[in-house]
């Protein structure tokens, strides 16, 4: 018999046998004790802490400790606090705490303030541990960051038992206070609570997390213990589909309808409870909700699903029986009229009238006509009635007499009921009428938008004329764009019509019937259309409007493995629909991604366990019938959670007053500096080009050079042969840049002449034909300046013939006056006399003493008969915060502030003839100069160059009508506003000589107001933009605009029209021609517009294809375990090759441990936290259309034991950073080498000094660099 002996473990982990009360209440001057008793072998060490700060015995505090107990004696207590007793031996640790509340406490003079040295020296947790979940036999890594400014000890515990670095556990710490625990081949017994405790003589800090290990043998495939069943729901009621799933681990649930994934919306919610119950809740069921619903459960153990067929029914008939909501009631239906005759008709003697009615029902009703209660028989020769193919019943009375007057009734009946429509006919004596001629249909009174309460009756009415009498067709278009023909289909609407009046009636309109209603009139002479929008809601509904976000998305930073929420709040009616997107892809819900709607106007996107795949841009798109709106926010990784707040520098560098531009060549004659020149620089004089760049047409492989000359101030007509010689030498010198090793010797004079001849040839070849305007120099896209300073904008424009140029601000043309100065300096391009084709002119706009009311967009437009171009500059004016006495005195010396006051007002009433030109003016006095706003009937005037122009010079404001039209009648107001007040001058404009028939013309109408699809074309191709007109009466004027600027009809941009289509043909499209195009159709009855987008892509073709080539890489790289390593290789090829990394034939993807990026032609694979399992051969593959190349890079992971020297190498190289001006940028690099290398940072080739960059270097050779980006450039690190 064999006996197994068990030996007890030596020692015992510490544990408390008596603990103090959790809460103790004392008076300020009372003496009290906190007593604990404990056990443990060997005897534990004891430490007391108050608020994580170690308690040091003094005259007020005494600590008495024995091997089994400890007493903390407090003579008095000044303030509240938490006291913790911490016991520890080599087998583990334990702690207990109590909260002391002090009454009548006074401000302590001896307590340790937060900013004291001891408080700052206790350890602090900078990055907490994250909860981890893993499967058995895998590896878990726990990482935290707890910093300590004094010598400290680090200990790891699992369920209060100490962990040592042995066996499957691997503990490590680095100089950055990162502490890591790695557990290899985890087992189920490794499940528990893990803690990292850092202790120094001043106090301690700890971080804890939970680790769960799932045993694969215990996995259970998903299965539905309670499945879905087929169900039928009532239209408008709620639907709830419920099932219960079991499995381990918890499966991920997804719902689909008819094969399409269901996303959470305001009406559809998905619920998954902890007990496995899954619900799909649909509010207010619609007919489109009918279909097959499938609930799928997915986990690593398998997949299972259950389905349900959902039918949507509604009640019908007298007995309220159920039918399918998507089908018509084909059993029994009471007759009803869908077209009825009018209630009153007046007709002349010997004339005729026609009554038309149409009734439906099941079975089909019979229709009879009656006069004064007696049936009109078919044998009656006075009346003729018949039924058309579409079911309309016509009654025609010819050569009527006075006896024909009476009540005519149309009766429709079937076994389910009878319905009667009556019409009173009055026959009167003959009236003189003109013979009718063929006239196309025209709506004299169109349909108008209206809103009604849900369930109430409504009537849509319009008047239409035409000869012969037009036929009408009513069309309904829902908010999704689906069309329904109400005339030819069975609906609850009743159509009524006689003469000019056409009505569409319904006794009860429901919310789902809201949408656009069209009436289309057609005869042999043409067609006309009118439409309106019918809004159906409740009395409590808010006014209709497009979506708007009350709360937008914000950029968010969060640590990995944490949870984060994005939330939005919106307004608009009808309530907009919301759709979430991640990196332009629709968000799909899962176990870690949920979309909820806490209210009708709020939506929340919740993301658990944030990973690298979760990062990126998130969008929310809100849409209703009035528009679409988006908001966006980016999810970023950070050590702490925070919302978007721009980084702030604690110490800001002084702003640079002047930045010297980088030129392509050096000036041989440096300018002499002077005090006057220095003063001008300090004042902020803008740079100015005396000579700009020109377009060049070159052959492949040819040499080329471009150059410009920067002047200090404007010097018109300063062009000498010396300047030409300098430019020629500079061009010749710049051609040396193509050589591998440029010679320092200048080329001979003949080389300079050759270079200049090449430039002349290139310009001559371009300018053999007239050219449209082009901006050679543009103003800055955005300028910011302080109040009371002067603004100067400059452009250089080329064009043949000479273009017409004007400046405007938000549509108001600016003129030279006491506010604005507009001028040009003439020809300055020295080749102009010889070529006499291309003219290049400088145009300036100068605004004196700007104020906050001068902020906005300033546009410069140049046009000739070859085309038109425009450029824009946004001006932002900042209030002057430094309001010193000198500045106040300086402003007072200029002019006294004054609110606007009209010196000359608009005429109170103005009358002009049709088609005549008209100019009205007013003068305003104000300081600072006022901003002008023109309105017509309280609506702000928008620029329309073909109708009127608005101009302003700082004092005189003008409104000029090119040709007065009937639509120009109304009340016009000119409002002058500055920071001290406002003033308004008003006039009433009346137009005489209008044709009475002009008002009855058909206003233009495009089929689409906006074409949503973007037209994408290639640079250099011929483009034709088209828009379809639905209706319009002649004469009709067509105008095309690009980015709200009129396009002149020219060979380059030609107008054309074919019946109802209008076209704009661009003969040779350029990338700068892309943008928003608008076609405008106008006649005397109205105006219509259609907008579309044009995207022009460059057509760059490769000169020569080249197969990929991989070079400049280290075949073998060595690394220590736990470090980070980079594998680098250079790859070239044309076209640019596609790069992929793989190991052991398995393709690697960007994830937490692998990061793939490139720096130009250098491609980098970064591996974090290298372990021995990462050792092996990594293959870089480069593929393009010309071939494929591979390179093998071997990684060896060994514990470094070398003591000899090692050359420096980068373990982590800086990553390119893009940031906003004045924001904080961080460049990070780590390196190694023996002995420790020295490092330097370079910016654009210049070494950075401490004034610009603070460098922190530690003993491991790791370096963190923080820099301010002064302008775009490159940083180098040696």
Closest CA to 872 of 962, 809, 797, 786: 809
Q: What is the pLDDT of residue 704?
A: 62
Residues 797 and 856 in one domain: yes
Q: pLDDT exceeding 90 applies to what percent of the chain?
A: 11
Report the number of distinct structural domains present in the chain.
11
Residues 838 and 712 in one domain: yes
What integer is the mean pLDDT of 163-170? 87
Specify the DSSP class assigned to residue 1270. -
List the single range of 212-216, 304-308, 510-514 with lowest mean pLDDT: 212-216
Q: Is 416 helix (H, G, I), strand (E, B) or coil?
A: coil
Better pLDDT: 12 or 1266: 12
Residues 1236 and 1209 in one domain: yes
List the single range of 294-303, 879-888, 954-963, 1132-1141 with lowest mean pLDDT: 879-888
Q: At residue 517, does pLDDT exceed 90?
A: yes
Output the pTM of the full model: 0.31
Take residue 706 and report the two structure tokens written for it: 């471009």
Residues 1147 and 1039 in one domain: no
576: pLDDT confidence band, cut at 50, 70 and 90?
Answer: confident
Question: Token pair 């101030």 is at which residue?
Answer: 713
Q: Is 1212 helix (H, G, I), strand (E, B) or coil?
A: strand
List the single range of 77-81, 616-620, 1160-1164 with lowest mean pLDDT: 77-81
Alpha carbon of 716 to those of 301, 634, 685, 927, 996: distances in Å? 82, 51, 17, 33, 58
Q: pLDDT exceeding 70 applies to what percent of the chain?
A: 77
In a domain, 672, yes or no: no
Q: At residue 1271, does pLDDT exceed 60?
A: no
3-state secondary structure 45-98: EEEEEECCEECCCCCCEEEEECCCEEEEEECCCCCCEEEEEEEEECCEEEEEEE
Over residues 1074-1108, the pLDDT tens digits come to 889 999 988 877 788 899 999 888 765 444 578 89
698: pLDDT confidence band, cut at 50, 70 and 90?
Answer: low
Q: Which residues contact 703 (CB under 8 A, 6 or more apart)?
A: 735, 738, 758
Residues 973 and 1007 in one domain: no
Better pLDDT: 649 or 526: 526
Residue 485 to residue 475: CA distance in whole angstroms: 5
Backbone angles phi, psi at 825, to 5 degrees: -105, 15
Q: At residue 668, does pLDDT exceed 60?
A: no
Contact of 14 with 39, CB cutoff 8 Å: yes
Residue 862's H or E segment, with its range, is: strand 856-864
1218: pLDDT confidence band, cut at 50, 70 and 90?
Answer: low
In a domain, 744, yes or no: no
Contact of 949 with 932, CB cutoff 8 Å: no
Residues 713 and 839 in one domain: yes
Take residue 1043 and report the two structure tokens written for it: 């980015």
Range of the domain at 1260: 1203-1278
Over residues 39-91, the pLDDT tens digits come to 988 888 898 888 778 888 888 888 889 888 999 888 877 777 888 888 888 88
How far is CA 525 from its chain centroid? 48
Alpha carbon of 961 to those of 356, 717, 921, 1203: distances in Å? 50, 38, 12, 90
How far is CA 276 from its chain centroid? 38
List the single range of 126-140, 454-468, 853-867, 1222-1236 with lowest mean pLDDT: 1222-1236
Contact of 168 with 158, CB cutoff 8 Å: no
In a domain, 448, yes or no: yes
Residues 726 and 839 in one domain: yes
Over residues 629-650, the pLDDT tens digits come to 888 888 888 766 666 555 555 5
1208: pLDDT confidence band, cut at 50, 70 and 90?
Answer: confident
DSSP 239-286: EEEEEEEEEESPPEEEEEETTEE----SSEEEEE-TTSEEEEEESS--
Residues 964 and 830 in one domain: no
What integer is the mean pLDDT of 802-821? 79
Residue 282 to residue 1054: CA distance in whole angstroms: 54
In a domain, 334, yes or no: no
Q: At residue 717, does pLDDT exceed 50?
A: no
DSSP 391-402: S-EEEEE-S--G
CATH number of the domain where residue 456 is located: 2.60.40.10
Residues 976 and 831 in one domain: no
What integer is the mean pLDDT of 827-831? 31
Take residue 89 and report the two structure tokens written for it: 């031996």
904: pLDDT confidence band, cut at 50, 70 and 90?
Answer: confident
Residues 1040 and 904 in one domain: no
Q: Which residues contact 472 (CB under 8 A, 6 or more apart)?
A: 464, 487, 495, 497, 502, 519, 520, 521
Residues 449 and 400 in one domain: no
Over residues 961-1004, the pLDDT tens digits come to 888 877 778 889 999 988 888 899 999 888 887 654 444 567 78
Q: What is the pLDDT of residue 499?
A: 61
Burial (0-12, 13-18, 19+ Cβ within 10 Å), 175: exposed
Residue 978 to residue 981: CA distance in whole angstroms: 6
Of 85, 111, 137, which residue constitutes the final position of a domain?
Answer: 111
Beta-bridged to residue 235, according to DSSP, are: none
In a domain, 1090, yes or no: yes
Residue 255's H or E segment, with its range, is: strand 252-257
In a domain, 940, yes or no: yes
Residue 52 to residue 503: CA distance in whole angstroms: 82
In a domain, 621, yes or no: yes
Q: What is the pLDDT of residue 1262?
A: 46
Closest CA to 85 of 208, 200, 204, 210: 204
Over residues 392-441, the pLDDT tens digits come to 888 998 888 888 888 999 999 988 888 888 888 888 876 554 444 678 89
Q: What is the pLDDT of residue 1221?
A: 66
Closest CA to 1070 of 1087, 1085, 1052: 1052
Q: At residue 243, does pLDDT exceed 90?
A: yes
Residues 274 and 366 in one domain: no
Q: What is the pLDDT of residue 736?
A: 43
Of 1067, 1097, 1127, which residue constitutes the final position of a domain?
Answer: 1097
Please provide the average confidence, as pLDDT, over all residues in the chain: 77
Of 182, 216, 250, which residue constitutes the final position of a domain?
Answer: 216
How far is CA 1114 from its chain centroid? 43
Q: What is the pLDDT of residue 1046?
A: 86
In a domain, 370, yes or no: yes
């Amino acid at each position: 018999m064999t006996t197994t002996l068990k030996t007890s473990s030596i020692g015992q982990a510490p544990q408390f046998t008596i603990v103090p009360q959790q809460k103790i209440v004392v008076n300020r001057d009372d003496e009290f004790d906190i007593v604990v008793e404990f056990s443990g072998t060997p005897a534990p060490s004891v430490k007391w802490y108050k608020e994580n700060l170690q308690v040091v015995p003094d005259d007020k505090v005494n600590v008495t400790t024995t091997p089994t107990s400890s007493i903390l004696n407090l003579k008095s207590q000044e303030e509240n606090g938490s006291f913790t007793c911490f016991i520890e031996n080599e087998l583990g640790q334990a702690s207990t705490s109590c909260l002391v509340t002090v009454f009548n406490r006074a401000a302590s003079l001896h307590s340790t303030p937060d900013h004291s040295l001891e408080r700052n020296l206790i350890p602090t947790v900078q990055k907490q541990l994250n909860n981890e979940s893993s499967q058995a036999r895998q590896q878990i890594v726990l990482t935290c960051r707890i910093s300590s400014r004094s010598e400290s000890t680090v200990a790891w515990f699992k369920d209060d038992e100490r962990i040592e670095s042995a066996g499957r556990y691997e503990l490590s710490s680095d100089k950055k206070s990162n502490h890591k625990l790695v557990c290899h081949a985890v087992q189920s017994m490794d499940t528990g609570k893990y803690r990292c405790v850092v202790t120094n003589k001043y106090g301690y800090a700890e971080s804890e997390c939970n680790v769960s290990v799932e045993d694969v043998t215990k996995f259970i495939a998903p299965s539905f213990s309670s499945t879905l069943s087929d169900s039928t729901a009532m239209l408008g009621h709620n639907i709830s589909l419920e099932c219960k799933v079991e499995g381990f681990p918890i499966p991920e649930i997804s719902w689909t309808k008819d094969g399409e994934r269901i996303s959470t919306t305001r009406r559809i919610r998905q619920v998954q409870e902890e007990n496995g119950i899954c619900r799909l809740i649909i509010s207010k069921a619609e007919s489109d909700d009918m279909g097959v619903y499938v609930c799928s459960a997915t986990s690593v153990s398998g997949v299972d699903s259950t389905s349900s067929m959902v039918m949507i029914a509604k009640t019908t008939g007298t007995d309220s029986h159920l039918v399918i909501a998507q089908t018509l009631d084909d059993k029994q239906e009471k007759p009803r009229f869908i077209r009825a005759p009018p209630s009153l008709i007046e007709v002349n003697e010997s004339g005729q009238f026609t009554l038309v009615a149409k009734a439906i029902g099941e079975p089909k009703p019979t229709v009879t006509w009656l006069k004064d209660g007696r049936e009109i028989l078919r044998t009656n020769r006075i009346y003729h009635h018949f039924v058309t193919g579409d079911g309309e019943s016509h009654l025609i009375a010819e050569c009527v007499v006075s006896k024909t007057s009476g009540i005519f009734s149309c009766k429709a009946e079937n076994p389910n009921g009878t319905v009667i429509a009556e019409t009173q006919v009055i026959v009167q004596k003959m009236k003189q009428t003109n013979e009718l001629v063929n006239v196309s249909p025209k709506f004299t009174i169109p349909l108008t938008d209206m809103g009604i309460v849900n369930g109430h009756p409504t009537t849509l009415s319009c008047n239409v004329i035409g000869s012969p009498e037009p036929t009408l067709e009513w069309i309904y278009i829902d908010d999704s764009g689906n069309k329904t023909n109400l005339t030819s289909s069975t609906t609850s609407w009743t159509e009524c019509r006689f003469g000019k009046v056409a009505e569409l009636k319904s006794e009860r309109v429901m919310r789902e019937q809201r949408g656009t209603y069209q009436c289309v009139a057609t005869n042999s002479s043409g067609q006309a259309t009118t439409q309106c929008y019918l809004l159906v809601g409740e009395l409590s509904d808010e006014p209709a409007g497009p979506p708007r976000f009350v709360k937008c998305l914000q950029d968010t930073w969060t640590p990995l493995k944490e949870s984060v929420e994005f939330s939005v709040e919106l307004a608009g009616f009808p309530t907009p629909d919301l759709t979430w997107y991640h990196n332009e892809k629709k968000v799909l819900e899962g176990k870690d991604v949920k979309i909820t709607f806490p209210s009708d106007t709020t939506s929340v996107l919740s993301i658990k366990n944030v990973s690298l795949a979760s990062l990126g841009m998130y969008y929310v798109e809100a849409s209703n019938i009035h528009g679409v709106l988006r908001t966006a926010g980016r999810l970023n990784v950070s050590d702490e959670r925070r919302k978007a707040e721009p980084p702030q520098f604690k110490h800001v560098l002084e702003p640079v007053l002047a930045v010297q531009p980088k030129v392509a060549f050096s000036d041989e004659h440096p300018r002499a500096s002077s005090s006057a020149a220095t003063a001008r620089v300090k004042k902020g004089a803008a740079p100015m080009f005396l000579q700009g760049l020109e377009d060049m047409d070159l052959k492949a492989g040819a040499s080329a050079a471009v150059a410009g000359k920067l002047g200090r101030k404007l010097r018109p007509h300063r062009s000498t042969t010396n300047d030409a010689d300098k430019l020629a030498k500079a061009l010749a010198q710049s051609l040396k840049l193509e050589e591998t090793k440029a010679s320092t010797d200048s080329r001979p004079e003949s080389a300079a002449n050759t270079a200049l001849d090449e430039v002349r040839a290139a310009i001559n070849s371009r300018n053999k034909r007239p050219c449209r305007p082009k901006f050679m120099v543009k103003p800055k896209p955005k300028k910011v300046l302080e109040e009371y300073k002067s603004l100067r904008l400059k452009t250089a424009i080329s064009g043949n013939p000479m273009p017409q140029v004007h400046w405007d601000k938000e549509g108001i043309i600016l003129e030279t006056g006491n506010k604005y100065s507009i001028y040009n300096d003439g020809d300055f391009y020295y080749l102009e006399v010889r070529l006499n084709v291309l003219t290049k002119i400088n145009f300036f706009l100068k605004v004196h003493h700007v104020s906050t009311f001068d902020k906005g967009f300033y546009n410069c437009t140049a046009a000739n008969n070859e085309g038109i171009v425009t450029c824009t500059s946004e001006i932002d004016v900042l209030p002057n915060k430094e309001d010193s006495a000198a500045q106040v005195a300086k402003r007072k010396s200029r002019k006294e502030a004054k609110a606007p006051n009209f010196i000359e007002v608009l005429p109170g009433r103005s009358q002009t003839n049709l088609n005549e030109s008209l100019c009205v003016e007013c003068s305003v006095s104000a300081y600072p100069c006022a901003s002008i706003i023109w309105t017509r009937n309280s609506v702000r005037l928008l620029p329309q160059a073909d109708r009127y122009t608005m101009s302003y010079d700082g004092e005189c404001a003008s409104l000029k009508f090119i040709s007065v039209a009937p639509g120009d009648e109304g009340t016009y107001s000119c409002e002058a506003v500055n920071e001290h007040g406002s003033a308004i001058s008003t006039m009433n404009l009346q137009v005489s000589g209008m044709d009475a028939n002009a008002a009855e013309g058909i206003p233009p109408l495009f089929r689409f107001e906006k074409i949503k699809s973007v037209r994408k074309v290639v640079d250099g191709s011929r483009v034709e933009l088209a828009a379809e007109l639905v209706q319009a009466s002649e004469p009709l004027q067509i105008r095309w605009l690009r980015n709200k600027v009129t396009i002149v009809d020219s060979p380059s941009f030609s107008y054309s029209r074919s019946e109802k289509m209008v076209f704009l043909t661009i003969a040779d499209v350029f990338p700068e021609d892309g943008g928003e195009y608008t076609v405008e159709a106008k006649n005397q009855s109205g105006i219509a517009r259609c907008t579309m987008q044009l995207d022009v892509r460059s057509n760059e073709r490769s000169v020569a294809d080249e197969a990929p080539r991989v070079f400049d890489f280290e075949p073998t790289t060595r690394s220590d375990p736990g470090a980070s390593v980079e594998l680098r290789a250079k790859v070239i090829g044309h076209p640019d090759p596609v790069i992929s990394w793989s190991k052991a034939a398995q393709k690697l993807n960007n994830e937490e441990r692998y990061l793939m990026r490139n720096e130009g032609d250098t491609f980098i694979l970064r591996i974090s936290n290298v372990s021995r399992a990462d050792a092996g051969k990594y293959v870089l593959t480069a593929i393009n259309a010309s071939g494929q190349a591979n390179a093998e890079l071997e990684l060896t992971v060994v514990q470094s034991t070398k003591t000899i020297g090692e050359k420096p190498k980068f373990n982590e190289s800086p990553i390119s950073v893009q940031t906003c001006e004045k924001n904080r940028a961080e460049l990070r690099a780590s390196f190694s080498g023996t002995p420790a290398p020295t490092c330097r940072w370079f910016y654009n080739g210049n070494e950075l000094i401490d004034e610009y960059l603070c460098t922190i270097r530690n003993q491991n050779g790791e370096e963190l660099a923080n820099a301010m980006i002064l302008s775009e450039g490159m940083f180098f690190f040696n």
